[in-house]
Structure formats: structure tokens, C-alpha cells
Amino acid sequence: MKKITILAMVLLMGLCLAGNVIADSATKDECEAKCKEAAALINEKGIDAAAAVINDKNGPFVWKDTYVWVNDLDGNMIAHPIKPSMIGKNWMDLKDKADKLFFKELIEVAKTSGAGWVDYMWPKPGEENLSEKTSFAYRVPGTNLMTCAGIYK
């Protein structure tokens, strides 16, 4: 009886922990909303002021297990709160593990449709190993910029 009680408690704790992990994962709807919010900030305050907010690791554009980044439609990184070393560099020719030119694809989606999702491989924040990721690209109205955010599968 004692073993069954302990086993039941362990299982219950495991389910609670799993629920917390799931609850801490961003959703597609959140990504779309945050990208549009960042785009509105860019249009309202200008790219320099908006980039300062977007680049803040503790700011509103880093949440749960994801973040918003900004690049122009030529592939130049403008803002990235998790990997600031990417800022100021062109990533148009960046390929994932499967040789997919995913930045190019994200830019193409933003240019042609204004918004959309692209699948690729990318490491989770703080990790080196690649994970399946899908990111939302949103063209900032009236600019040569796009905001992006993604979720891991």
C-alpha cells in the first residue's frame, strides 16, 4: 500500500511538472500577436527606440520559451535579444541543418504575403543542439522590415 501511495504521488508530481513545461511554451497566436505589437512599436517610436526595447532580454518581447527579432528584407539583423552577436550581420544565406535557406524563405513570405510561417531547425535559447522550429514572419507596414517569432515543436 505504501509503495502504491508513493508511486501515485510521483506520477502526480510528474504530471504537474509536465503541465508547467507545456504552460511555459509559447503559442502560434502569441507569436503573431507579439510580432504585430513589435511592428506597431517600430511604426510608433522608430526602429532605434523599438530595437532597444526588443533587444532587452527582460523586456516584453522575450517570453516563455521564445522572443521577437527584427531584420530587414535584405537579410540584415536589426534586433535580436537572445543572440546580440547576430545584429548588424546579413543572414540571407544562413542554412539550417537540412540546407534550408530559412531566412531567405522568411523574407520571401513577408515580401509576398505580408505574413506567414516557415519551418526550420534552430537551437532553443541556451542550448546548442538543433530543434524543429516554426517561425512567423510579419512585414512591418510601410517599411523594409519584418518582425519574427517562433515556437519549437
pLDDT, tens only, 61-91: 999 999 999 999 999 999 999 999 999 999 9
* Percent of the chain whose pLDDT exceeds 70: 85
Q: What is the pLDDT of residue 9?
A: 38
pLDDT tens readout for residues 86-132: 999 999 999 998 899 999 999 999 999 999 999 999 888 788 889 99
Rounded Cα gap, residues 95 and 105, in angstroms: 10
Q: Is residue 61 part of a domain?
A: yes
* Percent of the chain whose pLDDT exceeds 90: 76
Q: What is the CATH number of the domain that holds 102?
A: 3.30.450.20
Q: What is the pLDDT of residue 144?
A: 98
Q: Is residue 110 part of a domain?
A: yes
Q: What is the pLDDT of residue 8?
A: 34
Q: Is residue 31 part of a domain?
A: yes
**Could you tell me which residues come within 8 angstroms of residue 31 by beta carbon, excluding any fewer than 6 positions away?**
66, 135, 136, 149, 150, 151
Q: Is residue 4 part of a domain?
A: no
Domains contained in the chain, number: 1
Q: Is residue 5 part of a domain?
A: no
Q: Is residue 39 part of a domain?
A: yes
Answer yes or no: are the C-beta atoms of 121 and 129 closer than 8 Å.
no
Q: Is residue 76 part of a domain?
A: yes
Q: What is the pLDDT of residue 126?
A: 83
**Cα 111 to the center of its chain, rounded Å:** 19
Which domain range does residue 108 map to? 27-152
Q: What is the pLDDT of residue 132?
A: 94
